[in-house]
């Protein structure tokens, strides 16, 4: 099998939210394999199950049924702390709302996953400096997020996502809060990261961003309804 290249390997994933009175089946059997080096856009209307899928891919939640292997590890039955470690090592998150910690500097924001990953202070500094330069903010490391523009904040968030050299960068509407030009910048940065070899999974409404991906997966009502080349 060519599974050695699969970063994400989901088989028959179901997710049911039990709110007590009603059970909502958000995902009704998802099979999804993402190989190393792919740039996948996941699209679909609201309520389609995109967010649930994103939570599962990012190990923020566990599936009700089915198996999920991330980077070869079966994470479906992991404990909370094990999931935390998996998120730290294997997943880099980029959110629509940036989710930077507002009271600390850009540098410290990017440093945080390295701190959780047990990287020594000196190596942390080197790595943060390298990443900040890579996203074009080498001069702004000591600024707090509130002193940065939206596009700059998202760059810091991307630097943070890359800090632990994750298996996959998971972006949730990364351009949703940005104006067209800043959004274009971020899209450019993603394309660049992909060309440098990162595996990207982007959840988006934005078809211009989705079209930059190598593959588009469309979700509707908890099922994958289309999966193919972006050009299609």
Partner 1 sequence: MKRNLAVILQLFLSSARLQKKRATLTIASLAWGTVTILLLLAFGEGLKRQMMSNDQAMGNNMAIMWPGETSKPYKGLPEGRPIRPKMEDVDFARERLPELDAIWGEYTSWRTALSYGRKTVNGRVIGTRFDYGDARKHFPKARGRFINPNDEDEKRRVVFLGNEMAKDIFGPEDPLGKTLLINNSPFTVIGVMQRKRQSSTYGGPDATHAVIPQSTFKAVFGDPRINVVVFRVHHEDDMPAALKHFNEVLGPRLGYDPEDPRVWGLWDTVKGQKMQGKIMLGLELFFGVIGALTLIIGGVGVANIMYAVVKERTKEIGVKMALGARRTWITGPFILEGLVYTLVGGLAGALIAILIVTGLSFLPIEGNDVLEFMGRPTLSWPIGIATIAILGTCGLLAGYFPARRAASIDPASTLRYE
Q: Which residues bind partner 1 (CB under 8 A)?
A: 51, 55, 58, 60-61, 80-81, 84-89, 93, 95-97, 99-101, 103-104, 108, 112-113, 115-118, 160, 164, 172
Q: What CA–CA distance (Å, rounded) separates 80 from 53?
A: 18
Please spell the DSSP secondary structure of 43-112, one letter per residue.
E--TTSSHHHHHHHHTTSS--SEEEEEETTEE-TT--HHHHHHHHHHHEEEE-TT----TTS-HHHHHHH
Q: Which is nearer to partner 1, 5 or 147 (CB)?
A: 147
Q: Which is nearer to partner 1, 2 or 146 (CB)?
A: 146
Rounded to a whole number of angstroms, the minimum distance from the CB of residue 96 to partner 1 is 6
Q: Which is nearer to partner 1, 96 or 191 (CB)?
A: 96
Q: Which is nearer to partner 1, 41 or 54 (CB)?
A: 54
Count of residues making up the chain: 232
DSSP single-letter state for residue 232: -
Q: Which is nearer to partner 1, 80 or 122 (CB)?
A: 80
Rounded to a whole number of angstroms, the minimum distance from the CB of residue 232 to partner 1 is 29
Q: Which is nearer to partner 1, 17 or 226 (CB)?
A: 17
Rounded to a whole number of angstroms, the minimum distance from the CB of residue 61 to partner 1 is 5
Residue among 171, 179, 185, 181 at smallest CA distance from 99: 171
Rounded to a whole number of angstroms, the minimum distance from the CB of residue 177 to partner 1 is 8
Rounded to a whole number of angstroms, the minimum distance from the CB of residue 88 to partner 1 is 2
Rounded to a whole number of angstroms, the minimum distance from the CB of residue 200 to partner 1 is 17
Q: Which is nearer to partner 1, 2 or 79 (CB)?
A: 79
CB 30 within 8 A of CB 54: no
The pair of structure tokens assigned to 157 is 């968030």
DSSP single-letter state for residue 42: E
54 Cβ contact partners less than 8 Å away, ≥ 6 residues apart: 42, 170, 172, 201, 203
Residue among 119, 98, 89 at smallest CA distance from 177: 98
Q: What CA–CA distance (Å, rounded) separates 87 from 90?
A: 5
Rounded to a whole number of angstroms, the minimum distance from the CB of residue 54 to partner 1 is 9
């Amino acid at each position: 099998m060519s599974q050695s290249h699969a970063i994400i390997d989901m088989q028959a994933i179901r997710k049911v939210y039990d709110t007590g009175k009603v059970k909502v089946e958000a995902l009704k059997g998802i099979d999804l394999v993402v190989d190393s080096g792919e740039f996948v856009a996941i699209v679909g209307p609201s309520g389609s199950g995109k967010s649930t899928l994103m939570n599962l891919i990012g190990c923020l939640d566990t599936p009700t049924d089915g198996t999920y292997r991330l980077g070869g590890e079966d994470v479906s039955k992991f404990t909370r702390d094990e999931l935390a470690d998996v998120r730290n090592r294997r997943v880099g998150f980029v959110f629509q709302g940036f989710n930077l910690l507002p009271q600390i500097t850009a540098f410290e924001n990017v440093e945080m996953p390295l701190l959780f990953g047990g990287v020594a202070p000196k190596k942390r500094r080197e790595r943060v400096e390298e990443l900040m330069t890579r996203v074009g903010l080498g001069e702004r490391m000591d600024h707090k997020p509130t002193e940065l523009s939206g596009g700059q904040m998202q760059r810091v968030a991307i630097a943070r996502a890359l800090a632990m050299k994750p298996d996959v960068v998971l972006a949730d509407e990364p351009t949703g809060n940005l104006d067209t030009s800043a959004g274009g910048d971020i899209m450019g940065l993603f394309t660049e990261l992909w060309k440098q070899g990162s595996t990207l999974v982007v959840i988006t409404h934005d078809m211009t961003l989705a079209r930059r991906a190598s593959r588009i997966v469309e979700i509707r009502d908890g099922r994958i309804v289309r999966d193919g080349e972006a050009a299609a």
